Amino acid sequence: MNKKVLILCTGNSCRSIIAEALINAKLEGIDADSSGVKASRKVNANAKKLLESKGIWRSSYHSKTLDSVIKNNYDLVVTVCDHANETCPMFPKPIKKIHVGFEDPDGKGYEAFEKTYDEIEKKLLPKIKEVLNV
């Protein structure tokens, strides 16, 4: 059975969506969801364009509120921004939590999204594998 990971950010429009897509595309045996503590309810256009260019965009990716995922069973919660780390809610069941922060590319050029993608792939994916022992 696959391990389940929740990627948590503030707006759930850039970093957490990119991380969700990378995990689902590149980490065998792990399924990811993402959510925002204050979800923007839209995916940043540059984030979507980047994921499409990498061939890992899914039409099911969208900006979700925490309420829509909080009752799901997760093996790990990952915060990818400081605000989400500081305001991470209590989950109904005890869940392992880690923080790996990334600079927000929102409002910057496309290159900033490429940089964020590369950083998430190089820093976050190995950390998740290590923590979940996969």
pLDDT at position 83, please? Answer: 80
pLDDT at position 45, please? Answer: 97
Q: Which of 88, 98, 112, 131 is flagged as catalytic?
A: 88
What would be the CATH architecture of the domain defined by 3-132? 3-Layer(aba) Sandwich (3.40)
Work out the number of other CB atoms within 10 angstroms of the CB of residue 3: 18
pLDDT at position 57, please? Answer: 98
DSSP assignment letter at 53: H
Q: Which of 6, 7, 8, 9 is flagged as catalytic?
A: 9
User: Is 14 part of the annotated catalytic residue set?
Assistant: no
Q: Domain boundaries in the chain?
A: 3-132
Two tokens, residue 71: 């009752």
CA-CA distance, 57 to 21, in Å (whole number)? 7
pLDDT, one tens digit per residue, over 57-96 is 999 999 999 889 988 999 999 999 888 778 777 777 789 9
Mean of pLDDT values over 37-47: 93
- Mean residue pLDDT of the chain comes to 93
